Amino acid sequence: MTASFPKIVFLFFIYAVIGWLWETVYCSLKAKKFVYRGFLLGPYCPIYGFGVLAVLFFIEPYQKNILFLYVMSAVVVTLLEYVTSYALEKIFHTTWWDYKEVPLNINGRVALPISLFWGVGCVAIVKWIQPLVLKGVNQLITEFGIGLPLLLFGLLFLDFCYSVASMNAFQKEIAKLSDEIEAKKSEINEGLSELKEEVRQKRISPSLRFNQKRMLQSYRKMNMPEIKHFKEIKALQNQKKESKKTSN
């Protein structure tokens, strides 16, 4: 398959959106409520786009061998998932997923059962989904040329900048709340539950924006190890959301 900028962009977005749909539907069914997944604000998960592109282009010479395709797809996607998890943790000091409860995991970043599943998914994509997607992509290129890919790329860049800025502000606010809890705990002799209620009512709701609240609610295993009271703050935010539902 020959590579061109429009083709790469279209394929990336299509599989990033498919990945977002998969995660959102799966997590929503599991949580029994709508869960808007993804680090970025838009309805796409770049890791899926990058993962499928890597499989399509780097393993293309060996795609006729099902076993080799399966093994190499699982390896490529697992490496990408591990590197992504490591990079996000080092850059933002935050973990978005944790496979420590899954058997045969490596540092909670990847796990063998998950990798085996990705292998099956990639084989299905290469053998059955990609031929249909490629027809649609070629039609889009014929109709829109490079204009739409440039627009999509620009939107992704803006979304990335916004999400990074939002994440940085989010971390600062969470750290501020954590410091406030710690300071008050040492200054006064109130019960911890009363202190939490004060923080919940006066501080959390007005200080977090939509995208920040979304990440707290969508990533059940999200954690900021460097923030001492992060898990308490996350629990309080979830409690406030549930109390609003009850009152309504």
Question: Which secondary-structure segment (H or E) carries 110?
Answer: strand 110-111
Domain match, 18 and 123 both = yes
pLDDT of 204? 47
Domain match, 134 and 211 both = no
Which residue carries 């943790």 as its tokens?
89
Q: What is the mean pLDDT of the chain?
A: 86
The verdict on residue 160 lying in a domain is no
Domain match, 137 and 174 both = no
Burial of 7 per CB tally in 10 Å (0-12, 13-18, 19+): middle
pLDDT of 206? 44
Least confident range from 41-55, 67-81, 88-102, 190-204: namely: 190-204
Q: Which 8-state DSSP code applies to residue 61?
A: G
Domain match, 49 and 171 both = no
Chain centroid to CA 202:
29
pLDDT of 5? 94
Residue type, 95: T
What are the CA-CA distances from residue 226 to residues 107, 170, 230 (Å)? 17, 14, 8
The verdict on residue 240 lying in a domain is yes
Domain match, 146 and 91 both = yes
Total length of the chain: 248
Query: Which domain does 237 fall in, by range?
Result: 167-247
Q: 106 has which bridge partners?
A: 110
Asked if pLDDT for residue 207 goes beyond 70, the answer is: no
- Residue pLDDT, tens place only, 25-46: 999 998 898 999 999 999 999 9
- Closest alpha carbon to 233 in 222, 243, 244, 245: 222
Least confident range from 31-45, 64-78, 183-197, 212-226: namely: 183-197
Asked if 135 and 144 touch (Cβ cutoff 8 Å), the reply is: no
